Amino acid sequence: MPNPPGCTYANTIEERIRVVQQTVRDCACSV
């Protein structure tokens, strides 16, 4: 299933932390 617009799911922890900071205010990503 494609990710919602503005949401990015990262595989690596470093990437994940970085993405969360941007994504959390753009949209709520449910995993």
Digit-coded pLDDT (tens) for 13-23: 677 777 777 76
Report the distance separating Cα 19 and Cα 22, nearest Å: 5
Q: What residue segments make up the domains of the chain, in order of their start?
A: 1-31
- Tokens in use for 8? 């990015």
Q: Are 19 and 12 in contact (CB under 8 A)?
A: no
pLDDT band at 24 (very low <50, low <70, confident <90, very high): low
pTM (global) more than 0.75: no
- Tokens in use for 15? 């990437």
Neighbours of 17 (CB within 10 A): 10
What does DSSP assign to residue 24? H
Report the distance separating Cα 14 and Cα 1, nearest Å: 23
